[in-house]
Each structure stands twice: as C-alpha cells, then as structure tokens.
Homo-oligomer: A and B are copies of this chain.
Amino acid sequence: MAVETVASAVSASTDFGPAVALSCRECGERFPLGPIFACEACFGPLEVAYEFPSGDPEGLRRRIEAGPTSIWRYAPLLPVPADVAGKPNLNPGFTKLVKADRLARELGVTGGLYVKDDSGNPTHSFKDRVVAIAVEAARNFGLTTLSCSSTGNLAGAVGAAAVRAGFRSCVFIPHDLEAGKVVMAAVYGGELVGIEGTYDDVNRFCSELIGDPIGEGWGFTNVNLRPYYGEGSKTLAYEICEQLGWRLPDNIVIPIASGSQLTKIDKGLQELVKLGLVEDKPYRIYGAQAEGCSPVSTAFKAGHDVVRPQKPNTIAKSLAIGNPADGPYVLDIARRTGGAVEDVNDEQIVDAIKLLARTEGIFAETAGGVTIGVLRKLIETGQLDPADETVAINTGDGLKTLDAVAPTTGPTAIIRPTLDSFREAGLA
C-alpha cells in the first residue's frame, strides 16, 4: 500500500521527540511511527506510544513553565521534535481557563467551576491543537499535501495551518454546506473540493484516495495522520492541570463527536500522574452529546459496551458523528472514573449558549452549548456533585454557529431616538 511504503521509508530519519512507536489499542501490537492508522493484525486503532524521561518532575515542570504560551510548552510530552516551536505553525493552545463564578452561582456549583475556553485558538476551535500535531507528523514523513474531510471547522483549521506551515492543502466537504462555512474553509486559498454527496460519501471518497497512487504524499489529518492528530487533545488536559496550579480537578465535562478528545484528555491526565507532575487523586470524566446524535449516551444509559450508530439530527453539527470511533473507549472511561455520559436537546443547547454568554461573556458554538447544557443536567439529576471542582470545555466560537441563536436573540426594544421613547420602552 502506497502510504505504508512511505512510512517505512521515512521512519528511521524522523524526529518525534519522546514518541517511539504506534501501538494498537486493541491487541497491543507495535509498529514503527508512520502515516498509518489501523493495526495490521486486528484492524484496531493505533495510538502513539512514548518513552518519557522520568525521575525529575520538578525539572520538567520548570521546563514547561518556561516554554512558549502555546501547546509547544508541552513538546516533551508530544510526538514532535524538541525544536517544534521554531517551525512555522499557528502556535495554538494555552487558551484561557476562566473561573466561572457567575455561571457557578446559576448552576448551584459550590466547589469551583471553570470553563476551558478553546474559542481563543487561531481559527477559534480546538481543532487547531490536533491539526498542529498532524502537521508536524506530515513534516516528519515528508508529505506535501494536507487534507481532510470536513463539515466546516476542520477544513478551516487545516487550510490555515497548511498555509503557515508551507504545505499544499486539498480539503473535501459536502457540496451543499452553508455559505459561511464554505467561506471559512476556502478563504485560506488551498484547494477546496465540494463533493456531490453526504459527509459519509466524502469520507468514503477520502479512503479511496488514500489507497490510490494519487494519494501518495497526502496527509489526511483525521485518517492516516489520525494517531498523531488525536494526541493534540492531550494538551487540553495538560493546560487545565497547569492552569489550576498543577493539580487535577474533580470533574471534567467534555463534548463527544468521535470521542477522541475525551479519551485523549484522560490519557493526558494519566500521563501527568505517572510523570509526577500532579498528585494522583480520583477524577470523574463526563461526556456530553446532543440528543439528536447521542449514540454514546444512549449506550451509557442502557449499560451497553457497544455503541449503536445513529443518524444525526441536531443543531450541534460539529458533534454530529453518528458512529463515533472512540465510543466504546468513552464508555470505559466514564464508567471507570465514576463519571457519566448525558445528552441535551436543541432547545437546551441554545439555552445553554445564552446562559454561558450572559453569565461569563463567553459566546460558544453549539458544541459548547451541549457541554454547558449537559453540565446543568448532570447537576439537576444528581449525577455530578456541585460541591466538587468542575471544568467544562468550550471547544469553539459562537461566531461559527450564529444561526443557532439568531432566531431567539435580538434587541430588547426598538425606539425612536428620543428620551421619551426610551422612557416609554421602560428602560430608564
């Protein structure tokens, strides 16, 4: 297969920092680092395995704290070379951890509530984190074209990252995407190809392209670079703990699309404990889905280990993956840590977007509404203890999903430009 040839050809001369291999999450089989994503033995998903330096947590902590204000401060824990910050890239991450006291009061949280606000990333979603790691892998493998299938956010993140890093990009989207999302995907000037078909058709086409000679030299962030790409989400765990003063929170509420972000945040927390960067203590991981695409929460509530695919129908389009690849791992983690997976409907999503905006001045995209809505529901149903310290993740910016709140968000009053008119409106 074309991509595997590339992999074995380049893996000897590359620099992935502390990463030493890819290992199968199912059978544990190991493979050299390369642009591959599935186990040859069992077809299980591959993930990056590391050999971390050990024995000097204080030194490592100081090294991180002296690093750049981006994900690259954690280069010693990522599959990237030590000098990664010097290479041209978007420098995402190290976004704000907002102490959300007003939201806490509204929700009755007494143990401390934080919002990790990833709308502060360069293209305003957490995708900049994962794409940045995929780009470094593509550089290592000598790939020349960055690609992905996308319904919007990822296309923009890949387009922007490719430009800065000096790659050609060619991104695939369903042809009937909303105009605004097309602009965000197209404005960076790479090739943007509309596919006559659904998002599933786009994905199938991309898989075909990877197996074809045309696809040689191509890095699909969410396919053949997926093992690297996914590691970017670990940085959310690192940042949350560092920003709390190098300690674990009690609870983290995380939105679920493929489930990869949630599983990698858990991986990141475990690494911090193993490296002695934070003290070990119990923590709970909660997953958040939209009711209109809730395969994982449905399985969680039914006590199932497998996730039955659903046909998505929700305003939270960035979470609308009906057959989430990491669903079973999410179930494991929620159960192991004593967390839960919950869902909210579209009306609750919109309400939660507005709640976060009017309490904390953070305008979240629909995925953020899912997280905050689920947080509220978890508290109301007694699944999350309000006396605990909780972190909720906002993965993207409200400017990307204006349509979700537009119908119910408008002026308080329309008046003539006179004081009398102002008084009559009851606003004085």
Q: CB within 8 A of A409: which of B170, B187, B212, B358?
A: B187
**Which of A270-278, A338-346, A418-426 lies at the interface with chain B?**
A418-426
**Residues of chain B with a CB closer than 8 A to A175's CB:** 411, 414
Do A411 and B193 form a contact, CB below 8 Å, given A402-B183, A406-B183?
yes
A77 within 8 A of B: no
A96 within 8 A of B: yes
A354 within 8 A of B: yes
Chain B nearest CB from A171 CB (Å) reads 9
Q: CB within 8 A of A96: which of B91, B160, B196, B208?
A: B91
Q: Which residues, 341 to 373 on A, are CB-close (under 8 Å) to B?
A: 353-354, 357-363
A189 within 8 A of B: yes
Most buried by B among A204, A415, A427: A415
A410 within 8 A of B: yes
A387 within 8 A of B: no
A62 within 8 A of B: no
Chain B nearest CB from A358 CB (Å) reads 3
Count identical subunits in the complex: 2
Q: Are A201 and B417 in contact (CB under 8 A)?
A: yes
Q: Are A163 and B361 in contact (CB under 8 A)?
A: yes
Q: Are B358 and A188 in contact (CB under 8 A)?
A: yes
Q: Are B360 and A164 in contact (CB under 8 A)?
A: yes
Q: Are B357 and A163 in contact (CB under 8 A)?
A: yes
Q: Are A164 and B361 in contact (CB under 8 A)?
A: yes
A397 within 8 A of B: yes
A20 within 8 A of B: no
Q: Are B423 and A214 in contact (CB under 8 A)?
A: yes
C-alpha spacing A94/B69, complex, angstroms: 10
Q: Are B418 and A205 in contact (CB under 8 A)?
A: yes
**Residues of chain B with a CB closer than 8 A to A196's CB:** 414-417
**Residues of chain B with a CB closer than 8 A to A419's CB:** 208-209, 212, 214
**Residues of chain B with a CB closer than 8 A to A212's CB:** 419
Most buried by B among A122, A197, A208, A397: A122
C-alpha spacing A361/B162, complex, angstroms: 8
Assign chain A's interface to a size class. 35 or more
Query: Chain B residue with minimal CB distance to A205?
Result: B417
A85 within 8 A of B: no
C-alpha spacing A90/B173, complex, angstroms: 35
C-alpha spacing A204/B419, complex, angstroms: 11
**Residues of chain B with a CB closer than 8 A to A88's CB:** 101
C-alpha spacing A412/B195, complex, angstroms: 11
**Residues of chain B with a CB closer than 8 A to A160's CB:** 357, 361-363
**Residues of chain B with a CB closer than 8 A to A412's CB:** 186, 191-193
Query: Chain B residue with minimal CB distance to A128?
Result: B361
Q: Are A179 and B214 in contact (CB under 8 A)?
A: no
**Residues of chain B with a CB closer than 8 A to A122's CB:** 96, 120, 361-362
Q: Can you pick out 25 interface pairs between chain A and chain B where the beta carbons lie within 8 Å of each other?
A: A120-B120, A122-B361, A122-B362, A124-B124, A124-B399, A156-B363, A161-B361, A175-B411, A183-B402, A183-B410, A186-B410, A187-B358, A187-B398, A187-B409, A188-B361, A190-B358, A193-B422, A194-B411, A194-B415, A195-B414, A196-B416, A208-B418, A208-B419, A209-B419, A214-B428
Given contact pairs A124-B397, A160-B361, A186-B411, enumerate 4 new A-B contacts (beta carbons under 8 Å). A69-B94, A90-B361, A194-B415, A399-B400
7 closest A-B pairs by beta carbon, nearest first, are A189-B358, A160-B361, A163-B361, A205-B417, A399-B399, A194-B414, A164-B361
